[in-house]
Amino acid sequence: MSGVTVTNARKIYGQAAALDGVSIAFQDGEFFGLLGPSGSGKTTLLRAIAGFVILDQGEISIAGERVEHVPVHRRQIGMVFQNYALFPHLSVAENVGFGLSVRGQDRADIARRVGEMLELVRLPGFEGRKPRQLSGGQQQRVALARALVTRPRVLLLDEPLGALDRRLRQEMQVELKQIQREIGITAIFVTHDQEEALTLSDRIAIINQGRLAQVGGPQQVYERPSDVFTARFLGDANIFKGVAEAGKVSIANSISIAVADKLPNGAATIIVRPEKMVVAGVGDPLPDQLVNRISGTILQAIYSGNSVTYRVVIDNGGPEPVLTFVQNRAPRLFAPGDPVTLAWLAEHSIPVGS
């Protein structure tokens, strides 16, 4: 078992709380993403687990063992940094085997373990190369092999793919997830990339101002965000604020939004993800189940190849422009100035905290 438990973690820098009473459990064998804006506390939490940051208060356990006062080198963790931190003067084999050599392992054992790790990260035959002779993706794999060669209980990754270009980053996401599954290690990674968090994570923690905003599976956190911050940080969201009554939320003159959830009467905040909306021309037929229908005018159309993003100004004094995405398979594209109707299901109107 190699689960990690953090209880009531607090870390203060000056007058600011980098961690403000964080309690969270990372389950054995899961790939867990820590997501939040810069300065939210996600990296502080990761570094506290590693032992690079000493908490002012709280407990950290790895596999049931308290470690908050255990030195870094005795915590049995592997760490991968954004800049890889490879030794430029050492070969690939020497970089990967460095952790074993400082532990006094014999050469034959080191060579065997290094070979196993390079097979795992799909770099056999690269033993003699120097880091400068490798691509960014290959350097990332070497750093991963070095972190895993000592058989750590937990793998910690700090923005592990942040230095790669978009296409290579997407390829490495698939490989990183596959390698983690093959060895079954508990992995905790920090990222500010929402797509990366959704792609890699079994569960995600959204962190804001040193506190947990929400923890859950990617689909749960995306589809049912707990508050406006989470909704906006994990993807795009249209925010409608109004008054709930009789199963609907009134947001402006003659505009109301149907919701599937039972809401108490009073002030309410609703989010609708842009991809949940259908965009139709005035008079175009729409399915009956799309009970929410709002008329407006295209303000901006942004063509992205496989999709089009529309910003729509709502008629009748509605809120700020609404954002909606449409896959590029529609028979026609709308242009600025075109009148349209936005429609969506009642269950896609999600009530959230303010």
pLDDT for the residue numbered 146 = 93
299, two tokens? 């303000």
Fold of 4-228: Rossmann fold (3.40.50)
CA dist 7 and 10 (Å) reads 9
Is the CB of residue 218 less than 8 Å from the CB of residue 49? Answer: no
Task: Mark out the alpha helices in 218-274 (DSSP H runs).
Answer: 218-223, 228-233
| Claim: this prediction has a pTM higher than 0.75 | yes
Kindly report each contact of residues 230-234 with a partner whose C-beta sits within 8 Å and lies 24 or more positions away, as own/partner.
230/206, 230/352, 231/271, 231/350, 231/352, 233/35, 233/36, 233/37, 233/194, 233/206, 233/208, 234/35, 234/194, 234/197, 234/198, 234/204, 234/206
- Could you give the residue range(s) of every CATH 3.40.50.300 domain in the chain? 4-228
CA proximity to 351, closest of 277, 251, 215: 251
**353: which strand partners?**
227
pLDDT for the residue numbered 1 = 54
21: phi then psi, degrees, rounded to nearest 5:
75, 40
Which helix (H) or strand (E) is 293 found in, with range? Answer: strand 292-303
How far is the CA of 177 from the CAs of 29, 170, 174, in angstroms? 12, 11, 5
pLDDT for the residue numbered 168 = 80
106, two tokens? 């014999």
How many residues appear in the chain? Answer: 354
- Could you give the residue range(s) of every CATH 2.40.50.100 domain in the chain? 236-351
CA dist 275 and 163 (Å) reads 29
CATH of domain 236-351: 2.40.50.100
pLDDT for the residue numbered 83 = 79
Q: What is the mean pLDDT of each run of 10 residues along the chain (354 residues)?
A: 89 92 95 93 95 95 92 91 86 92 86 92 92 90 92 91 78 87 93 89 95 96 94 92 88 84 90 95 91 94 89 82 86 90 95 84
